[in-house]
Amino acid sequence: MTQLPNPRLSRRTMLQGLLGAGALLGSGPLLAACASGSTGTSTTAANGAKLDTVVAQLGWKKLSQFGGHFAAIKMGYFTDNGIDAQFLAGGPNIDPVAVVANKQADIGDDNGSGILLSRSKGIPVTAFATIYQQTPNALMSLKSNPVTSLQEMVGKKVGVPNTEKVLIEAMLKKAGVDPGSVSIVPVGTDPSILTSGQVDGYIGYGTQQGVSLEQSGVPVNVVYFSELGDPDYGNAQFALADTIADKGDVLSR
């Protein structure tokens, strides 16, 4: 892991996972080189200290996967580092890349593959850190009807969120599987479509839908994308290139 250069970071800053756990795309040297930047936006803490405001667009709703962020606010970890952290809820109709590109937020989070796809479209976003070293995205299936590999998806119905369709098709092609041989069904975040038998496989977060299925007494196979040949980052933190250039110290904190 690349150490972000910030003498004010304390050992108790549990948000290493938010803005420091695992540098992505050479983030450490990049942020170090621009550590003199400032946000241009500030607030004042209860003790009178000046706080730099950072607005973050979440990749999804304010659920438990982002619990660390809100625990850090409650415990004062952000203010300890001079940050007024503001998190915007995401959802099915909110594109974090578009929000950041339109400068409605300073940073956003997305899977590494999503950020690469945005770059391929000419959107100047750059990932600088990641929450998960490996994406929680997984292929889930009932143990009574297992689908545990890309090859086993052939001839099956697989529920895939629209945001993951391009990635799944690329993964299938890389594995030598014709995407046309898989019946891809658009789905949301409710895995009941799997338990009801409407699909044979379901793409979602193994740490969320997979756990919820197990807790409800449904035996499931959970195969993470890293096991399917996609060593992707999960919830990678990104910003516009000029934001990183101007606000490197703030993003480090």
Residue 139: which of 122, 113, 121, 159 has the closest Cα?
159
Q: What is the pLDDT of residue 92?
A: 80
CA 212 – CA 37 distance, rounded (Å): 43
pTM of this prediction exceeds 0.75: no
Q: What is the pLDDT of residue 40?
A: 54
Burial annotation 1-40 (CB, 10 A radius, 16+ → b, else e)? ebebebeebeeebebbbbbbbbbbbebbebbbebbebebe
| DSSP-H helix ranges across 102-204 | 112-120, 165-174, 192-195
Helices then strands, counting H and E runs in the chain, come out as: 11, 11
Residue 10: which of 72, 56, 53 has the closest Cα?
72
Residues 111 and 233 sit within 8 Å (Cβ to Cβ)? yes
Residue with tokens 């041989």, as numbered in its chain: 181
Local confidence pLDDT in tens for the 253 residues of the chain: 333 333 333 333 333 333 333 333 444 444 444 444 444 577 877 677 799 999 999 998 888 778 899 999 999 999 999 999 999 999 888 999 999 999 999 999 998 888 988 999 999 999 999 988 899 999 999 999 999 999 999 999 999 998 889 899 999 999 999 999 999 999 988 999 999 999 999 999 998 899 999 999 999 999 999 999 998 888 899 999 999 999 999 998 9
All domains in the chain, ordered by first residue? 16-133+233-252 (3.40.190.10), 137-228 (3.40.190.10)
Q: What is the pLDDT of residue 140?
A: 98
CA 120 – CA 233 distance, rounded (Å): 17
CA 105 – CA 54 distance, rounded (Å): 8
Residue 168: which of 198, 144, 201 has the closest Cα?
201
| Residues with Cβ within 8 Å of residue 192, at least 6 apart in sequence | none
Measured from the Cβ of residue 155, the count of other Cβ atoms closer than 10 Å reads 9
